[in-house]
């Protein structure tokens, strides 16, 4: 059941650290564009230990929550229902509170990735490469399960991470081969490269960008561009940014929490760009 968009409602993003989050900018812009003057969206510094207590204090005015690290898995035991998408990667980034008080978890990162790629004309690829093997990499694999018809090669730093990525591949029905991070420059020749590593990790790879690169999806957005993205676009390759992902997943969150479709994608993106430019 959809929450009532006519009532004064609250939503927020939770995580630790959270001060850097652009989610309040994006969601508040959406509320303004949708005419939801009585809706508010805040941010709260919440870690895994504090999460159950925070949930216990929520009243009926709450419509939903956005979750970032380290809460995407920790929230699952607190929910009444988890979508198939979220269950596939054991990660929830969206909680919607229904009118009957149920807590429903979803993952909008995965369809957000697919939508960001589709916006750039990437509907299907015959192979892809992933740089990294953390939580975002599993979401990237789930997105590739929808658009990649062939092998995905993951470049990782340890045998443990390699095993985890192969296990995710089996679970998501994606053909995954793992390679050592020392060979990561080879990834840059793939039709689609998804970089899921922390800031600075891929800087050394920028010198290895081929003269005619295909598509890079770099999940970072601050600072932007990364060295890799700058070199990539300089050679004429297509680049999808972390802001593209952030906006598309936020659009889906707004639609789920408010019941209003479509959410104002262009206005939300512009607000995000302006917020980043002011930092």
Residues composing the chain: 279
Query: Which stretches within 157-264 are classed as H helix?
Result: 159-172, 227-234, 242-258
Using CA of residue 155, residue 132, residue 110, residue 125, what is the dihedral sign?
negative
Largest distance between two CA atoms of the chain: 56
CB 176 within 8 A of CB 165: yes
- Extract the runs of DSSP E, i.e. beta strands, from the chain: 10-15, 40-45, 62-67, 81-82, 94-97, 103-106, 128-131, 152-156, 176-180, 192-195, 215-218, 238-240
**Active-site residue among 9, 72, 260, 269?**
72
- Catalytic-residue membership of 72: yes
Report how far residue 168's alpha carbon sits from residue 84's, in angstroms, rounded to the nearest whole number. Answer: 15
Helix, strand, coil fractions of the chain, as percent rounded to 5: 40, 20, 40
What is the rounded radius of gyration, in angstroms, for the C-alpha atoms of the chain?
Answer: 19
Report how far residue 113's alpha carbon sits from residue 93's, in angstroms, rounded to the nearest whole number. Answer: 13
Encoding tokens for residue 236?
A: 């004429």
Give the residue numbers marked as catalytic.
72
């Amino acid at each position: 059941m959809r929450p009532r968009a006519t009532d004064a409602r609250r939503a927020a993003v939770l995580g630790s650290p959270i001060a850097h989050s652009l989610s309040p900018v994006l969601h508040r812009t959406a509320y303004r564009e949708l005419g939801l003057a009585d809706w508010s969206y805040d941010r709260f510094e919440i870690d895994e230990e504090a999460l159950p207590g925070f949930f216990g204090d929520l009243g009926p005015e709450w419509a939903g929550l956005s979750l970032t690290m380290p809460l995407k898995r920790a929230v699952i035991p607190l929910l009444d229902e988890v979508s198939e998408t979220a269950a596939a990667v054991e990660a929830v980034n969206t909680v919607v509170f229904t009118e009957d008080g149920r807590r429903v978890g979803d993952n909008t990162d995965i369809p957000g990735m697919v939508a960001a790629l589709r916006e750039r004309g990437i509907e299907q690829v015959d192979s892809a490469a992933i740089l990294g093997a953390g939580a975002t990499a599993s979401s990237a694999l789930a997105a590739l399960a929808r658009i990649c018809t062939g092998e995905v090669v993951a470049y990782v730093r340890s045998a443990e991470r390699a095993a985890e990525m192969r296990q995710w591949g089996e679970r998501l029905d994606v053909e995954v081969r793992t390679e050592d991070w020392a060979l990561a420059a080879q990834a840059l020749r793939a039709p689609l490269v998804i970089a899921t590593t922390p800031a600075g990790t891929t800087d050394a790879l920028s010198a290895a960008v081929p003269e005619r690169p295909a598509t890079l999806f770099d999940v970072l957005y601050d600072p932007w561009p990364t060295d890799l993205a700058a070199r990539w676009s300089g050679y004429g390759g297509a680049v999808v940014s972390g802001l593209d992902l952030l906006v598309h997943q936020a659009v889906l969150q707004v639609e789920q929490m408010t019941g209003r479709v479509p959410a104002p994608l262009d206005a939300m993106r512009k607000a995000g760009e302006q917020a980043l430019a002011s930092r």
